[in-house]
């Protein structure tokens, strides 16, 4: 769409998605757009499909609901104190609004004479319907499957929730049908859904459900893992995508239109800008100690095993000789960088100072901080959000193979995990191999999951991963920690004096952002989100998720 998002395209097309008029009355307007006067050519379907792109859920702070990131204060979803909301526009209403409009295009497509003319837009409708159902599925499990355009008399208006199996099967069916008609990358207009995007979403959804079934013991995991392997493998084999050479710049304007991008949420100043870069850098997305300790030393070993780990005695020692993604994701204290709202140029970066004034954890985020100060303010950045990218495909492929077979060959590791390690700056001697794991007493599953966490940090995957692995009950009740203050340079850092004076640190000397006693996770409750209570009140057949 050449970075143009048609935000208001359907302000003029309101009638397209309203209930049809009584056929006995001639209520077709003489001058306005309505069903009888629209849907006449392929361009009408294209304009209708443009609508889906304007409602994509993009920039996210979802990792604050996990253990690797922390907001300005604790989040209720992270510490287990959340209550069922009365309503949720972002997580319920929006999805069903888009699903309704997908159903409308599909319904009118069935009536269109030359179906070959509009097959791409029918494919887009099925892609977006699957995308929105997956957004619902990963939070709530089985949900009502609305496959037609409902009116006030439709019996499905008060239908029951579909089973979990039926919901994921419907998602994958839509994606298979989209894959069959969507063009390859390069054969479609820039920014539109492609076969590669549908395959990647299928791989994501299949891995999610496959591992959920395996670790929650809810069904045939292998059937889903086979789908994840096949879909991700097809994307890899296509040769249409490759990793961006610079990890940090992939996530700012320099990474727009990268060969790594499979499906983007496009942004442009004056059309659809955002303020994500400024919010991220002002304390809304603080890395935690859990994330910091997950980055390997450059020898490929965890810091607990690596002889070259420099420790935490100084402000910068723990950043030395580590996985290159660490200093591309987290700001090394004291370095000078360009960032929004600092027109004077390079400025030293320290927590609780300047643009980091709200960052009290000690760890500062670097990922998503734009470098070009020209024209940037709190609301005018326009780098794209990489909703689907090739790096994730490589991670899906490796994890799905391992969980399906209980092992993974060095050949498959080299075409997946080790491509990511190469970009991160690891030498070949530190690549992940079966011999390396055995020789160093490592665990392959742990290393594959580690790779996924650090590669996708702050992109909103971590809570879903903890849920599907069924490890949230172990990880989330732990205290949330930050830098080590006692016995290090941070102990004398002026703005951390209050931490020392008020004993806001644990027995090991780390800042405690939230105590373990303030965090809880109920395995019988918290693996699924609560449905909005107004929806349950309107339709008791929905049935609320357990213990909510």
Q: What is the per-residue pLDDT for 269?
A: 65
Q: Is residue 454 part of a domain?
A: no
Average pLDDT over all residues of the chain: 89
In this structure, is residue 329 part of a structural domain? no
What lies within 8 Å, CB to CB, of 402 at 6+ separation is 408, 444, 445, 448
Write down the pLDDT at residue 13: 36
Give 3-state DSSP helix, strand, coil % of the chain, rounded to 5: 45, 5, 45
The tally of domains found in the chain comes to 1
Alpha carbons 399 and 229: distance in angstroms, whole number: 9
Cα separation, 45 vs 121, whole angstroms: 6
DSSP string, 26-46: ----SSS--GGGS--SHHHHH
pLDDT digits (tens, 9 = 90+) for 409-458: 999 999 999 999 999 999 999 999 999 999 999 999 999 999 999 999 99
In a domain, 116, yes or no: yes
CA distance 80 to 493: 33
Mention every residue, 6+ apart, whose C-beta is less than 8 A from residue 404. Answer: 210, 221, 222, 225, 226, 229
Query: What pLDDT is recorded for position 77?
Result: 94
Q: What is the pTM of this model?
A: 0.92
| Residue 456: alpha-carbon gap to chain centroid | 8
Kindly state whether residue 423 falls inside one of the protein's structural domains: no
Q: How many CB atoms lie within 10 A of CB 91?
A: 17
Rounded CA gap, 352 and 362, in Å? 8
In a domain, 128, yes or no: yes
- Give the phi and the psi of residue 274 in degrees, each rounded to 5: -150, 165
CB 140 within 8 A of CB 545: yes
DSSP H/E element including 328: helix 324-329
- Domain range enclosing 182: 14-265
Other Cβ atoms within 10 Å of 484 Cβ, number: 23
Q: What is the pLDDT of residue 369?
A: 86
Residues 291-313, mean pLDDT to the nearest whole number: 98
Quick check: helix, strand or coil at residue 332? coil
Residue 302 has pLDDT above 60, yes or no: yes
Residue 212 corresponds to which tokens in the numbers above?
């959920």
- CATH number of the domain enclosing 83: 1.25.40.390
* Tokens, residue 465: 């991963």
What is the torsional sign of CA 48, 49, 53, 55? Answer: positive
Tell me the C-alpha distance between 270 and 292, whole Å: 37
Please state whether beta strands 286-287 and 69-70 pair in parallel, antiparallel, or not at all (unpaired): antiparallel
- Mean pLDDT over 43-60 rounds to 89
Q: Report how far residue 159's alpha carbon sits from residue 496's, in angstroms, rounded to the nearest whole number.
A: 55
248 to each of 326, 410, 428, 537, how far by Cα in Å? Answer: 10, 27, 21, 46
Can you say whether the dihedral through the CA atoms of 492, 493, 494, 500 is positive or negative? Answer: negative
**Token pair listed for 543:** 């049935």
Tens of pLDDT, residue by residue over 471-483, are: 999 999 999 999 9
List Cβ neighbours of 174 (8 Å cut-off, separation of 6 or more). 126, 127, 129, 130, 133
Domain assignment present for residue 74? The answer is yes
Residue 484 lies in a domain: no
- Asked whether residue 399 is assigned to any structural domain, the reply reads no
pLDDT tens digits for range 221-272: 999 999 999 999 999 999 999 999 999 999 988 889 999 999 998 876 666 6
Q: How far apart are CA 544 and CA 140, in angstroms?
A: 9
Task: State residue 356's pLDDT score.
Answer: 82
φ, ψ at 248 (rounded to 5°):
-65, -45
Q: Specify the residue for token string 């942004």.
A: 267
Report the chain's C-alpha Rg in angstroms: 24
């Amino acid at each position: 769409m050449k970075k143009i998002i048609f935000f208001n395209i359907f302000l003029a097309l309101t009638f397209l998605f309203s209930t049809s008029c009584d056929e006995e009355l001639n209520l077709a307007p003489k001058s306005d757009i309505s069903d009888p006067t629209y849907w006449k050519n392929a361009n009408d379907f294209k304009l209708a499909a443009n609508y889906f792109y304007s409602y994509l859920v993009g920039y996210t702070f979802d990792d604050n609901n996990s253990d690797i990131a922390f907001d300005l204060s604790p989040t209720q979803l992270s510490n287990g104190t959340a209550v069922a909301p009365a309503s949720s526009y972002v997580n319920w209403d929006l999805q069903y609004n888009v699903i309704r409009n997908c159903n409308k295009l599909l319904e009118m497509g069935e009536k269109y004479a030359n179906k070959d003319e509009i097959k791409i837009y029918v494919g887009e409708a099925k892609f977006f319907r699957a995308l929105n159902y997956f957004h619902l599925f990963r939070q709530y499990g089985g949900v009502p499957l609305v496959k037609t355009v409902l009116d006030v008399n439709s019996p499905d208006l008060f239908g029951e929730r579909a089973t979990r199996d039926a919901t994921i099967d419907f998602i994958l069916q839509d994606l298979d049908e989209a894959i069959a008609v969507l063009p390859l990358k390069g054969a479609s207009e820039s920014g539109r859904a492609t076969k590669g995007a549908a395959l990647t979403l299928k791989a994501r959804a299949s891995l999610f459900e496959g591992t959920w079934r395996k670790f929650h013991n809810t069904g045939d995991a292998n059937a889903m893992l086979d789908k994840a392997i096949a879909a991700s493998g097809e994307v890899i084999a296509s040769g249409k995508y490759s990793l961006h050479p610079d990890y940090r710049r992939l996530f700012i304007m320099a990474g727009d239109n990268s060969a790594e991008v499979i499906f983007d949420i496009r942004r442009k100043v004056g059309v659809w800008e955002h303020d994500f870069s400024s919010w991220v850098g002002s304390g809304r997305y603080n890395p935690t100690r859990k994330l910091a300790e997950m980055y390997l030393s450059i020898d490929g070993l965890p810091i607990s095993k690596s002889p070259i780990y420099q420790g935490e005695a100084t402000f910068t020692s723990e950043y030395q000789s580590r996985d290159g993604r660490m200093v591309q994701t987290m700001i090394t204290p004291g370095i000078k960088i360009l960032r929004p709202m600092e027109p004077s140029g390079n400025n030293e970066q320290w927590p609780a100072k300047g643009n980091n004034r709200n960052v009290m954890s000690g760890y500062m985020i670097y990922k998503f901080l734009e470098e070009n100060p020209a024209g940037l303010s709190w609301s005018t950045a326009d780098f794209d959000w990489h909703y689907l990218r090739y790096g994730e495909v490589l991670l899906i492929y490796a994890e799905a193979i391992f969980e399906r077979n209980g092992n993974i060959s060095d050949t498959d590791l080299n075409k997946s995990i080790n491509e990511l390690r190469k970009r991160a700056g690891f030498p070949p001697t530190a690549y992940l191999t079966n011999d390396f794991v055995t020789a160093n007493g490592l665990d392959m599953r742990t290393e594959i999951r580690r790779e996924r966490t650090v590669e996708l940090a702050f992109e909103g995957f971590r809570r879903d991963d903890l849920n599907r692995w069924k490890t949230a009950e172990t990880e989330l009740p732990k205290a949330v920690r930050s830098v080590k203050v006692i016995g290090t340079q941070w102990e004398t850092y002026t703005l951390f004096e209050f931490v020392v004076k008020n004993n806001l640190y644990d027995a090991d000397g780390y800042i405690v952002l939230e105590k373990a006693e303030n965090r809880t996770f109920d395995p019988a409750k918290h693996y699924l989100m609560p449905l909005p209570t107004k929806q349950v009140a309107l339709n008791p057949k929905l049935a609320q998720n357990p213990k909510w």
